[in-house]
Chains A and B, each alone.
Chain A
Amino acid sequence: MRWIWIDKFLEFNSGESAVSLKNVTLAEEHVHDHFPGFPMMPECLMIEAMAQTAGILVGEARNFEEKVILAKIKKAVFFHYVRPGDTIILHANIESIAPEAASTAGKIMRGETLIAEISLMFSHIDNNLAGLEFPEENFVFTDMFNSLLTGFVDEKAKAGQS
């Protein structure tokens, strides 16, 4: 099982930008401990949610042929708490993409409120770490990730037909 920290995509512009949505709920057990009496979404998991949004964007830009790994958090600044019941929208843009790596800039919004600014670097690991070998299959982009995108792409295709 993978922990997926986004519920769906709202927009997906191949090679350029993506917008995803995450509903935060008290059914997520970890918020009971983070913190007792004051449940809030851990900021590290917001970084992971952004890494998934931006990582799928970066992976799709190369048809999921690369194994895309989060390599560096360039910036992560948080302005507000995210509490159960909140819906957050994650915006990610590709700033640069090269054979070895990609950099993305992103922000997390709750309605009109800026929650966080998160900029990341991703490594295409088969083109880095010379000498190290990785499994043939793409262990990064599992079916669960693909289903997030497939659903969205299907909807978009349908919209295009109507």
Chain B
Amino acid sequence: MIDLTLAIAKEIETRFPKGVAPDERSGYEGYLVEAGKLVEFATALRDELGYDFLSSVTGVDYMPEEKMEVVYHVYRSTGGGALVFKVQVPRQNPVLPSLVEVFPGADFQEREAWDLLGIRFEGHPNHKRILMWEGFEGHPLRKDWEEAYFEEESKPFDARWPGGDVYRAEDENPFTKNVVYPQDFNPETWIPDGDKALYAGMKEIETDESLETEQIVVNLGPQHPSTHGVFRMVATLAGETVVKLEPVMGYLHRNHEKIGERNTYLMNIPFTDRLDYLASMSNNFGYVLAVEKLLGKKAVVPERAEYIRVIMAEFTRIANHVFAIGTLLNDMGAYFTPMLYALQERELILDIFEAAAGSRMMCNYYRFGGLARDLPPGVEGKMRDLAFERLPRKIDELDRYLTENEVLRARCEGVGVLTPEEAIAYSAVGPVLRASGVPYDVRRADPYSIYDRFDFDVAVAYHGDVYDRYLVRMEEIRQSIRILQQALDDLPEGEIMTGKPRYSIRVPAGEAYGRVEGPKGELGFYVVSDGSANPWRYHVRAPSFINLTALSKMCEGDKVADAIVILGSIDIVLGETDR
């Protein structure tokens, strides 16, 4: 492994003697690339060195140094660790070339960096805001941006104690303090420019169909039961066929990352629960892994805690996948019978979470260096009952119930096809990637925690359609049960936390990227610490968000009713998409 990275380092050094230098700040890794060399460097990484999978693109605002930094994490789709490279641009005029041509998966992520940090990507084909609305003033993740009801730069706020004079934020009139509108702006008469531009881009797309049809632009959503939340798809239809589709999101945006930068490290754990609220244990897992990387030896996780972490994460995966299958069937019109059968199993899993963590969905169970508390008496028995008896039986039943159903197959087979090359290029992750024939699972490709000890197969299917995504999810449930059975059998006794639990931790300065295979795919947390009590930068690489990059590709050419099914097969949760 070390030889390999050394070889790559050498290769990069000889190939790029100028313009690319190792990042030598303490606690940082990877390469600093000059903006002018970026496209060439990325192309070389993809084509010559095999780093073909772009995982994460994000910006960091280093305000004291008057710099903006864009951080890229690339991986090999055959497995292995990350290669990190960064581009530094001046804070006053942050412009750098877009990588969409090289990695189409950078599309939404670059738009997000523009939206939240104001970094411009030259050559981006659709350079618009993505989470905030067009016409929004400022870039909210910049360090000098203050939101409405802004109180203080970081928590804990001084007003809480010992003074204790606090008022409700909503008692304040939102139109007076802290809100800056552009001059001559009247919110009453305002019509969003973004929508005009959006519709203009959707009209009259040339098709080679012999039958002349009128093209219409249709809004699917934002409030529609089949969109899994407030999510909107603007589709241009020729007859019933989708010729172009653009997802519009951000209705649930709350600037999770800014909140995270105000919080202390510990406070962020319950906030991560609210990202993908169907899989809060996995979110905890990813975040604590990232921070534990920074903490190093200060946060060694005891054996028992590692096992319980894995058990909880796998139960989460099962709960999420049965739910995903249930909602997929809902989207297809099998209204609520399969959903309720799926919910019943999820219910029993949530009972376990409630007994162990205290809450069904907002678990807040993982801590740096361990877990919040040990399993209460009786919970292990319940887990065993589920993993050894009930779930295997019930998954077989779900299989009998759905898999061979002709209606389901007719609706799913050959719909929303994504080829393996496209899936990698669009940075698709999780079941979407694996259904396209790429056996990439972070648990195997870049093992974290104790996943290297378990015997399981990476579920993979080769057609890349909706039906295969369903099959991959079914298979993943079975593999999760296998992991659960092994983990429960080996579960050791012992501590669940090294040392005393502490509420204020000092995290050494540096950067870390922790990623886990969440139920929706690769969930990454990029954390930059400056040594203080609050993270300097806290970024979530949200699988639901980035998987949507491929949505329009999958939908083009299919019928409008299929677009709903395709969306269902990606399995998004808007809490995570919009953050």
Bound pair (A, B) = no
Interface residues, chain B, CB within 8 Å of chain A?
A: none
